[in-house]
């Protein structure tokens, strides 16, 4: 019962700041571990004293008298990490939230010792003996009302990391720990993605041996109360070992007050009266749906690709940009290079002419065309200011569409949009993008390898903001939220995933199948769902049934000057 003898049994506490005690314990535990899940239960809490309303630690001990129960407070966990995982101590100490340290530590405990890990806000319902000796990692899904976190990111389910069982030393935990390290630069973001269940789920799905896991529905460890309506799945579908009380803190929206509601109504009315908009119905009238929905063919030879490079004032990077194109590990006789040059005020035109002269025989074709670039000339240092974005991005959309219409004559299978100031491309870029088997694919664009995303037009929406927040970010007739907007995930936030569905895309490096553009899906020059240009193109294509795919672990490097 909660509150009944709720503290762990005497003798199993790690005394606060007693590093020697932990060292001796670890030394004694260094003997060979028998195969399968050992009879060990791990629980963690901030201090040695667990508040009665937090969970039922006694139930784990009472129902499993032959299992060793190990209770770890924060001091003992840190000593354990320092002793057994010293290379991870910087990450452990650097997390901004205690739950992140607890997540990393539980993976390390299961790697080192194995056994059953259980969150403190749980109750054991049945003896764990059936789990003892199994050679697989035993996991269950989160309850149904939490699965949307996974499905929005393209994952088929969301696994629960609050109670898990594992043999000691399983190499899977190394992979999961490596993902925690990869996501450490985003440690101030969503816990689910930096150390929690989304990371666990992605690691399981990326693990090559599916037989390494015994996966179950949420009934096994995660549900609270009656589970009669739960669709039970897994090896132990007829058993229920524990329940979870969900005492963790979650985002709670503060309802707007009267003043905020009034301001929101004014903003919505102003936006509707004075902002031009493209509707989905209008767009569908100009789209050949049958062509758009045609499945991708199985190519017997490398498909033909047109590399489209819209450029204005790109003289400083065009030569390095061409070096990257030449370095692509792809048959050059299947590549067409087409520059769309606008009203440049530097030597862009002459540099392009030189590149065409020098590489005329390197590709199936290489040429330049003039494009409509009716966009304001904004100094580079001020180009990101909100006041310029509507007219700037509308001009970019016109230039892209003009270039695209002239590129249709090349009759290629794919179009690869490439900014002229991209100066680093993986050699295997095209093969990787094509292997995604999606009609719209983009890698992450960065200023330095493994750095934060530079092209923030590529994003996934993981929530829906309330009106008072949404319309606060409408500026100049389009949505311009702050960089760390809670609704959005950029590709650097998603590097634990191989591929992810997107709402908006960037044009820095963007592969589009010819059927999409030829069906009439162009780059909106007026706002569609309050987005413009490439962002609006991604959202429009998604609404028409073609979901863009981002590859967070594939990176292109943009010039940083």
Q: Which of 221, 212, 128 is nearest to 170 (CA)?
A: 212
On the question of pLDDT at 318 being above 50, the answer is: yes
463-487: average pLDDT: 90
Q: Look at residue 9 in the predicted model and tell me its pLDDT.
A: 35
On the question of pLDDT at 3 being above 90, the answer is: no
pLDDT band at 248 (very low <50, low <70, confident <90, very high): low
DSSP E strands, 323-451: 335-341, 365-370, 414-418, 422-424, 440-446
On the question of pLDDT at 174 being above 90, the answer is: yes
On the question of pLDDT at 25 being above 70, the answer is: no
pLDDT band at 293 (very low <50, low <70, confident <90, very high): very high
**What's the CATH fold of domain 19-244?**
Spore Coat Polysaccharide Biosynthesis Protein SpsA; Chain A (3.90.550)
**Intrachain domains 19-244 and 280-558 with the same fold:** yes
The larger pLDDT score, comparing residue 170 to residue 53, is at 170
Taking the CA atoms of residue 63, residue 64, residue 66 and residue 71 in that order, the dihedral angle to the nearest 10 degrees is: -130
On the question of pLDDT at 18 being above 50, the answer is: no
On the question of pLDDT at 514 being above 90, the answer is: yes
Q: What are phi and psi of 88, to 5 degrees?
A: -100, -5
Lowest mean pLDDT among 64-78, 185-199, 242-256, 383-397: 242-256
Q: Look at residue 519 in the predicted model and tell me its pLDDT.
A: 97
CA distance 255 to 236: 43
Q: Look at residue 16 in the predicted model and tell me its pLDDT.
A: 34
Contacts 24+ apart (CB under 8 A), 86-95: 88/177, 88/181, 91/180, 91/181, 91/184, 94/184, 94/187, 95/187, 95/195
pLDDT band at 372 (very low <50, low <70, confident <90, very high): confident
Q: Which CATH class is domain 280-558?
A: alpha beta
Domain boundaries, the chain: 19-244, 280-558
519-538: average pLDDT: 96
On the question of pLDDT at 7 being above 90, the answer is: no
- Summary mean pLDDT of the chain: 90
């Amino acid at each position: 019962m909660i509150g009944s003898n709720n503290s762990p049994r005497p003798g199993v506490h790690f005394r606060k700041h007693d590093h020697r005690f932990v060292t001796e314990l670890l030394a004694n535990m260094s003997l060979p571990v028998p195969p399968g899940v050992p009879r060990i239960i791990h629980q963690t809490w901030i201090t040695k004293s667990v508040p009665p309303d937090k969970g039922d630690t006694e139930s784990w001990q009472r129902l499993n008298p032959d299992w060793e129960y190990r209770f770890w407070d924060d001091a003992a966990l840190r000593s354990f990490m320092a002793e057994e995982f010293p290379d991870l101590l910087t990450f452990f100490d650097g997390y901004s939230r205690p739950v992140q340290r607890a997540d990393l530590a539980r993976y390390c405990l299961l790697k080192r010792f194995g056994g059953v890990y259980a969150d403190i806000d749980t109750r054991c319902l049945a003896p764990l003996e059936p789990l003892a000796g199994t050679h697989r990692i035993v996991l269950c899904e989160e309850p149904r009302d939490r699965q949307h976190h996974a499905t929005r990111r393209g994952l088929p389910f969301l696994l629960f990391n609050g109670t898990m069982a594992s043999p000691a030393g399983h190499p899977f935990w190394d992979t999961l720990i490596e993902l925690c390290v990869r996501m450490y630069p985003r440690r101030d973001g969503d816990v689910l993605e930096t150390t929690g269940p989304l990371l666990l789920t992605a690691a399981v799905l990326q693990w090559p041996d599916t037989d390494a896991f015994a996966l179950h529905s949420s009934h096994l460890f995660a549900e609270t109360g009656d589970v009669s309506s739960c669709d039970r799945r897994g090896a132990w579908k007829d058993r229920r070992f524990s329940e979870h009380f969900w005492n963790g803190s979650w985002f709670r929206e503060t309802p707007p007050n009267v003043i905020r509601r009034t301001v929101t109504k004014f903003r919505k009315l102003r936006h509707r009266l004075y902002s031009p908009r493209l509707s989905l119905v209008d767009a569908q009238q100009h789209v050949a749906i049958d062509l758009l929905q045609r499945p991708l063919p199985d190519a017997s030879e490398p498909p033909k690709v047109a590399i489209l490079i819209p450029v204005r004032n790109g003289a400083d990077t065009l030569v390095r940009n061409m070096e990257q194109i030449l370095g692509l590990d792809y048959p050059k006789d299947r590549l067409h290079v087409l520059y769309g040059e606008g009203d440049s005020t530097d030597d862009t035109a002459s540099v392009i002419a030189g590149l065409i002269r020098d590489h005329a025989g390197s590709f199936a074709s290489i040429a330049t065309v003039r494009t409509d670039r009716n966009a304001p000339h904004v100094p580079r240092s001020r180009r990101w200011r909100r006041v310029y974005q509507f007219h700037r991005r509308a001009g970019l959309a016109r230039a892209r569409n003009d270039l695209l219409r002239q590129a249709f004559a090349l009759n290629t299978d794919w179009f690869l949009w490439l900014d002229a100031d991209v100066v680093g491309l993986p050699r295997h870029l095209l093969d990787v993008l094509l292997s995604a088997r999606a009609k719209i694919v983009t890698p992450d664009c960065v200023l330095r390898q493994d750095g934060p995303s530079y092209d923030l037009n590529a994003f996934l929406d993981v929530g829906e903001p309330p009106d008072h927040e949404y319309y606060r970010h409408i500026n100049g007739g389009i949505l311009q939220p702050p960089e760390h907007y809670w609704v959005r995930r950029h590709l650097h936030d998603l590097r634990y995933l191989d591929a992810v569905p997107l709402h908006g895309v960037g044009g820095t490096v963007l592969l589009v199948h010819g059927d999409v553009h030829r069906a009439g899906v162009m780059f909106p020059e007026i706002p569609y769902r309050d987005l413009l240009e490439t962002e609006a193109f991604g959202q429009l294509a998604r609404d028409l049934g073609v979901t863009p795919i981002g590859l967070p672990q594939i990176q292109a490097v943009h010039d940083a000057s």
